[in-house]
Amino acid sequence: MESMAFIFTGIGSIIALVFSFLKFKSVHNAPEGTPEMARISKWVSDGANAYLKRQYAGVAIFLAVVFAAMICMAFAGMLSWFTPFAFLTGAFFSGLAGFVGMRTATMANCRTANAASKSLNSGLRVAFDAGTVMGFTVVGLGLLDLTIWYFILNAAFAALPVAERLTEITANMLTFGMGASSMALFARVGGGIFTKAADVGADLVGKVEAGIPEDDPRNPAVIADNVGDNVGDVAGMGADLYESYVGSIISTAALAVAAGYSVQGVALPMFIAALGVVASLVGTFFIKTEEGASQRNLLKALRTGTYISAVLIAVIAFVAIKVLLPEHMGIYVAVFAGLVAGVIIGAMTEYYTSDTYKPTQKLAESSETGSATIVISGLSLGMLSTVGPVIVVGIAVLVAFFCSKGATGGFAQGLYGVGVAAVGMLSTLGITLATDAYGPIADNAGGIAEMTGMDPQVRERTDALDSLGNTTAATGKGFAIGSAALTALALMVSYINKVGQINPDFKFNLAIDNPIVLVGLFIGGMLPFLFASLTMSAVGEAAQSIVVEVRRQFKEIPGLLEGKGEPDYATCVDMCTRSAQKLMVAPALVAVAVPVIVGLIMGPDGVVAMLAGNTVTGFVLAVMMSNAGGAWDNAKKYIEAGNFGGKGSENHKAAVVGDTVGDPFKDTSGPAINILIKLCSTVSIVFAGLVVAMHLL
Amino acid sequence: MESMAFIFTGIGSIIALVFSFLKFKSVHNAPEGTPEMARISKWVSDGANAYLKRQYAGVAIFLAVVFAAMICMAFAGMLSWFTPFAFLTGAFFSGLAGFVGMRTATMANCRTANAASKSLNSGLRVAFDAGTVMGFTVVGLGLLDLTIWYFILNAAFAALPVAERLTEITANMLTFGMGASSMALFARVGGGIFTKAADVGADLVGKVEAGIPEDDPRNPAVIADNVGDNVGDVAGMGADLYESYVGSIISTAALAVAAGYSVQGVALPMFIAALGVVASLVGTFFIKTEEGASQRNLLKALRTGTYISAVLIAVIAFVAIKVLLPEHMGIYVAVFAGLVAGVIIGAMTEYYTSDTYKPTQKLAESSETGSATIVISGLSLGMLSTVGPVIVVGIAVLVAFFCSKGATGGFAQGLYGVGVAAVGMLSTLGITLATDAYGPIADNAGGIAEMTGMDPQVRERTDALDSLGNTTAATGKGFAIGSAALTALALMVSYINKVGQINPDFKFNLAIDNPIVLVGLFIGGMLPFLFASLTMSAVGEAAQSIVVEVRRQFKEIPGLLEGKGEPDYATCVDMCTRSAQKLMVAPALVAVAVPVIVGLIMGPDGVVAMLAGNTVTGFVLAVMMSNAGGAWDNAKKYIEAGNFGGKGSENHKAAVVGDTVGDPFKDTSGPAINILIKLCSTVSIVFAGLVVAMHLL
């Protein structure tokens, strides 16, 4: 039965990939529009390609170093020989997921603009199809890799008894997760620096100093800005969610062993994920729109699809658990709790960030007294918005734990339930990611419409799609952050189990009044702040160089501002690439080096505490930064829609300041913290052997 | 011997109070200056008095409610009958410390301005003497109360065996701490809202809209702004540090019982604090300045005094421990670790916030690209500045723990050492608070000089004093925050011990992988964000109303802006008072209600975890907010000193935005978080009986 479940997982992945390919074809077949549109689109896609090529080359160095270190550890008998390769494949596929998404997005931007010239709905169709490619590529690749690795490792360790075999399998798969997280971190941080440096740089000189509109072709940073959308918001997000998805599945599978659920327990998360593919696929067919639908109706259409998928998975998961672990139906409650928690956090995020609700409207109003007050109010809003998600995650953890534990089960069974809740939350990723990924595509389409001087109506339509995308992106971020917290907890427990496997004599003292634990909590709690600081100042530094370059071009290229000269787009793209490349190193090092250093000094107790502190503060800070950023963005849009003085007013200027502060919040630091907390966990797990063998305290 | 130690503590307190009184006399005897100066000074002091009266009346309601609840619990046998009264006295004396400081400060402002008209050094002398009054009143009252309560409780429980008697004594003294924290919270939050609402309101309309200088008498909010300095930065700080001081001593004394150190262990923290009085007193005599000293020399003079006190206490503490606990000299290392950690954190704070160092200069430079980038850079700076203090506190905790534990001691002995480290850090509070409190006095003196149209040279001198005050205030905040973290840890352990006393059968499961603990950590980690959000939005809301009022007066009072009309200062003062009064309720409720609610739902495990999460995130967030705020303030001053375009330039405007964002950071939310983390702990301890008797999970 259980190998049936793995085979079904494989089938699920193939369904996802085939569906994704079909959608890719349909986007590809849409007309590109005028030659000028195609030309600009090509600039953007060339820039994005060039950036990704460089980024991957840079990451390759990092991967090679870690790979070498792992090989050494394998020689020392601290790791299995599969581990280094699992690590590499994880990184490869995470990067691939981002790459496919980016290619599709750069292909779709001019096609979306062209379709939007027909109608709002045609535009939505193309953009959403492109988003679907990304969503289903991520889940398809994720499931495919997990299935293949499972069968390889199962065969390799066939000689071992079941329990030990599963331990080996899941241990290697966790390394796969570390590879995926590493790539995701670089993609999110590098891409995030690129996109926001270009965005902020273009805005500061173009909009604020020179007074030309956004996406104006005279602005030398405008292509870089559009490239940024693709490498940060698309490729970065793809790599990120690939990591979240496989991370939640792997960490749960690893807990199954400790819980004594054997192969069925390992199979369950994959099986639920595979069923989620089907549920998501069905959901996409419900996203239908009528001609002339209002924005509210469009949103409703998107939501219908997502909710139908959620309901479907809630039903099929019951069957799945009935089949695999019929005596532990409490686990079903965990899946359900995860699903519901994800939906509620998404709704809360929307409440705090959408301009159809009070908080963002009040934020827009605070622009009346200038930029300082809108900044203060935005920070305050972001901080307040953390309360709900914390409580929801808390309830989900407790419900998942106590129900999975049941009357008869123990601690380990309860913790397995927490992992399953994360899988439940991400099971509909295919469709939630699709609704999330189409936003930047619409944004880019708007850029192309602006640059090629299309009918202003087209820009209005793409703006409507983009603004709708902000809302769905908020929902998507809710899922990503919530699942990250649950996954990080599962990984933390996996670490504890792993140490127990390495050295059964090691005695943990994880009590919170143990000074080592307290200090670990402090260090972990500080990490997200350090990480956010590094990423934000990276954006600032990179943006600074773009500002200088754009000012130079405005001054030195004759007739540029009058529309007679030709700006040098490539230099800006190149500068962003180089800045991102250089500045992503420090944050990445923090995520990789700190867990090892803490481990070597404070031992496994300190590591667990550090992971806990990191997860807690990271979750709260990430929610705060994402929501504050989203709210500032939409407050600005709300003013631009004619409220509180409208475009060009003093209020609008204040709101632009808020939005600019929010840019690195929501698109660089906030989402990257998600990955940070998981990467720290997987790094700790991989280097557990080293830490157990030698630590100071 | 040990009762000698308590008697010596009493003597130390009397020395402090007498010294304080002498300094008060010397400030009082300084000439007031012109009748106009006296008149303005009277407005300020009347406003401050009126505010404090109202605040204390408001707090009285809160105190009455808690007192009544405690009486009920005493009836139910959950608390001793002394507890409610200990609670009230703690609140009373915390308020008194603030009140004395405020009275001295409002008396000193015109005298400082007048003295500054003679020379920079005379000005410093008066302001610093007034600060000394505050510093020594706080420590004197603190020690006096502790001594008296100790003797009362010792007599009341004389019938009990030593160990039980000490348990009763320390339990009641912890309630004293809760009273002090409650008052401190209201004082910090209420005063913080008042001062920043007035400051932001005055600046936004006066400086930004009407273009009149700071502290211009035509600005109707100018008196409110000066009142705010006294009720927030002085009275609030006094209550705050009174609470920190007694809190660290009490929590350590409580740990002595569990550590088996008996009366000697209880006496030690008080004894060290009393010795600190002497050390501080000696230190003040080294603060001498020559005529015509540069600012750098002034700072050096202040530092010399502080460092001499620190060295002195480092020496005498050795003797104290030799006398009281000669077999546990490892504790001395804990005192030393605390002292050194305090000095290092102070120095780090200075590095990040003083414009003589790179970070603040670079922050000022980031104003070149506008207000958004200076905000981003300031946030990034604040976040980065948390790394050092976290590591220093971590090392101090580990050193204090392992050295106090020694080869023979156990867990409880080690934790006692952590408490002693906090006492060591705060032992020189007399002098550090004096150097801290004089800043707002100099600020006010500058206001009076401006309003009475004194020679611009006087304003220059008070500005120099004020700017120096920013630096010393940063050092003071370093001590306050560092000691808060250590004290909170000690209180957390006291809570665990308390629960053990109430119900010896209660089995803690504080392991960090217990879901209750995890969820508690999440909730605790979110609290400082919620609290910061509430306090920041309170400042925003209150400032908003001031903006409206000032605009109204500018419009409706004829000839006001031309200097012919008379502004209505009283209305602004009154509005600030009412806003502060109203808006301080919600944050205070959070601090008091959440620990009880969490306890009733999740039980003692959840409470401990919540306290840990709260301490960790609170520490990091408080450091971040205080330092970012300080750096923005000094970056603005750096530009005003003629760098990057100087006063009135676009850069300066951007820096003003940063400074305004930083105002609630450094003077409202940041310092109040310090109190939040300790109030949550003491509330939990007081209501432990209730929680142990009835909790859900």
B402 vs A contacts (CB less than 8 Å): 515
**Which residue ranges in chain A fall short of pLDDT 70?**
1-2, 289-295
Say yes or no for a CB contact (<8 Å) between A522 and B393: yes
Chain A residue closest to B540 (CA)? Answer: A373
What DSSP string runs through A399-437? HHHHHHHTTT--HHHHHHHHHHHHHHHHTTHHHHHHHHH
3-class DSSP state for residue B685? Answer: helix
Bridge partners (DSSP) listed for residue A511? B511
User: Cβ A380–B540 below 8 Å, yes or no?
Assistant: yes
Residue A494, φ and ψ in degrees, nearest 5: -60, -40
In this prediction the ipTM stands at: 0.94
Cβ count within 10 A of residue A217: 18
3-state helix, strand, coil in chain A (%, to 5): 85, 0, 15
Distance spanning both ends of chain B, measured CA to CA: 47
CA distances from B8 to B4, B272, B274 (A): 6, 10, 7
Greater confidence (A330 vs B204) lies with A330
Q: Do A372 and B508 touch (CB under 8 A)?
A: no
Yes or no: say if B494 and B611 are a contact pair by the CB < 8 Å rule.
no
Q: Is there a contact between B324 and B271 (Cβ–Cβ < 8 Å)? A: yes
Smallest Cβ–Cβ distance between B529 and the set A383, A530, A543 belongs to A383
Contact yes or no for B513 and A492 at CB 8 A: yes
Q: Is B173 exposed, middle or buried (0-12, 13-18, 19+ CB in 10 A)?
A: buried
Q: Are A252 and A269 in contact (CB under 8 A)?
A: yes
Residue B137 C-alpha, separation from nearest chain A C-alpha, in angstroms = 33
B208 chain-A contacts, CB cut-off 8 A? 370
The pLDDT tens digits for A548-562 are: 888 899 888 888 888
Kindly list the distances between the CA atom of residue A403 and the CA atoms of A395, A423, B267, B605, B645, in Å, as whole numbers in the listed order. 12, 16, 50, 19, 64
B421 part of contact set with chain A, CB < 8 Å: no
* Cα–Cα distance for residue pair B43/B48, rounded to 1 Å: 9
Handedness of CA B40, B46, B47, B49 (dihedral sign): positive
Does residue B378 sit at the A interface (CB-CB below 8 Å)? no
The CA–CA distances, whole Å, from B298 to A502, B120, B121, B290, B652 equal 59, 10, 9, 9, 27
- Flag if A386 and B529 touch (Cβ within 8 Å): yes
Q: How far apart are CA B302 and CA A691, in angstroms?
A: 46
Is B661 in Cβ contact with A522 (below 8 Å)? no
Q: If you search the block for the tokens 């205070």, which residue do you land on?
A: B588
Cα B144–chain centre separation: 20
Report yes or no: A92 at the B interface, CB cutoff 8 Å. Answer: no
Give the pLDDT confidence score for residue B2 in this predicted structure. 65
Residues across chain B? 697
Nearest CA among A250, A206, A229, A274 for reference residue A16? A274
Tokens linked to A677 = 């907390």
| Contacts with B76 (C-beta within 8 Å, 6 or more apart), sequence order | none
Q: Which of A655, A658, A375, A358 is nearest to B200 (CA)?
A: A375
Q: Best residue in A348, A366, A369 to probe B by mutation, most B CBs within 10 Å?
A: A369
pLDDT score of A480: 84
Of the candidates B231, B356, B233, the one whose C-alpha atom is nearest the C-alpha of residue B631 is: B356
Task: State whether B496 and A515 contact (CB < 8 Å).
Answer: no
**pLDDT digit string (tens) for B666-684?**
989 998 898 899 999 999 9
Q: What is the pLDDT of residues B368-406, one digit of tens each?
A: 888 999 999 999 999 999 999 999 999 999 999 999 987
Which one has a higher pLDDT value, A426 or B1? Answer: A426
Residue B236: per-residue pLDDT: 87
Q: Is the pLDDT of residue B153 over 80?
A: yes
Angstrom distance (rounded) from CA A88 to CA A180 = 8
- Residues whose CB falls within 8 Å of the CB of residue B195, separated by 6 or more in sequence, listed in order: B225, B228, B229, B231, B232, B233, B236, B667, B668
CA angle A674-A680-A683, nearest 5°? 135
Surface of A (640-669) touching B: CB under 8 A: 656-657, 660-661, 664
pLDDT for residue A461: 85
Supply B49's token pair.
């008095």
Report the candidate in A8, A42, A49 with the shortest Cα–Cα distance to residue A577. Answer: A49
Map residue A511 onto helix, strand or coil.
strand
E strands of A149-231, at which residues?
Answer: none
Per-residue pLDDT, A203 = 82
Query: Looking at residue B125, what is its pLDDT?
Result: 87
Please name every residue paired with B511 in a beta bridge, in sequence order, or none if there are none. Answer: A511
The nearest CA of chain A is from the CA of B122 a distance in Å of: 37
Q: Where are the alpha helices (DSSP H) in B260-294?
A: 262-284
Q: What does the pLDDT read at residue B110?
A: 92
The string of pLDDT tens digits covering residues B275-313 is: 999 999 999 988 876 666 666 777 788 888 888 999 999
The dihedral sign for the CA sequence B255, B259, B261, B262: positive
The answer on pLDDT for B124 being more than 90 is no
Nearest to B136 by CA among B408, B429, B392: B429
Q: A113 - beta bridge partners?
A: none
- CB atoms near residue B291 (< 10 Å): 8
How would residue B142 be classed by pLDDT, with cut points 50, 70 and 90? very high
B372 touches chain A (CB under 8 A): yes
Mean pLDDT of the B255-262 span? 89
Q: Which residues, including other chains, have CB under 8 Å from residue B556's CB and lie 6 or more apart?
A: none
* Confidence band for B524, pLDDT divided at 50, 70 and 90: very high
Question: For residue A381, which residues of chain B lie inside 8 Å, CB to CB?
Answer: 533
A134 neighbors A437 (Cβ within 8 angstroms)? yes
The mean pLDDT of B221-240, rounded to a whole number, is 88
Cβ pair B525, B659 in contact under 8 A: no
The confidence score (pLDDT) of residue B299 equals: 77
Separation of CA A532 from chain center: 16
| Run of H or E including A676 | helix A670-686
Token pair listed for A547 = 């500002």
What token pair was written down for A411? 């601690």
Q: Quote the mean pLDDT of chain B.
A: 90
